[in-house]
Amino acid sequence: MQSISGIIWLIIIACLLPYVFTVIAKMAGGFKPADNQNPRDFLSKTTGLSARANAVQQNSFESLPLFIASVLMAEYMVVPQIVVMTFGIAYIVLRVLYGICYLANLATLRSVIWMLSLLCPICLLIMVIKLT
């Protein structure tokens, strides 16, 4: 079996990334300790940068299952680690750029980057299919 420490780091980073945008959403929206009684209600009422950061956070969580499944399946099917790491790092970099574009309200570029980030786990799964 391949060394999976790099794969584990990719998964950890991808799982923590949404929380970065959660913090941005709360800070930009003027989150106060009293709002912690119902933070989702607070975030649902935000606008501007805070609302966009919350949307990035939600979308980041939505994309995680496909990414994690593709990386683990690629590891299980012994896709070369350099390939898994390349697509994994590309996914994370693209997700960061996606978040930056969302925060900056660059809708068209954001959509292009979203599609490219989606292709990373899809390409890994296609490689897995070819190995079966």
In the chain, the amino acid numbered 51 is A
Mean pLDDT for 25-30 is: 89
In the chain, the amino acid numbered 50 is S
Quote the DSSP letter at residue 79: -
What is the structure's pLDDT at 37?
A: 81
Q: pLDDT tens across 75-86, in order?
A: 999 899 999 999
- Is the distance from CB of 21 to CB of 57 less than 8 angstroms? yes
Domains and CATH numbers, the chain: 5-131 (1.20.120.550)
- Is the distance from CB of 28 to CB of 48 less than 8 angstroms? yes
Q: What is the pTM of this model?
A: 0.92
Quote the DSSP letter at residue 80: -
What radius of gyration, in Å, describes the C-alpha atoms of the chain? 17
Most confident by average pLDDT, 32-41, 77-86, 92-101: 92-101
Q: Which of 81, 87, 88 is nearest to 9 (CA)?
A: 88
Q: Record the tokens describing residue 78, joined without a space.
A: 């012994």
What is the structure's pLDDT at 93?
A: 98
Between residues 42 and 48, the one the model is more confident about: 48
Q: Which of 59, 83, 60, 57 is nearest to 71 (CA)?
A: 83
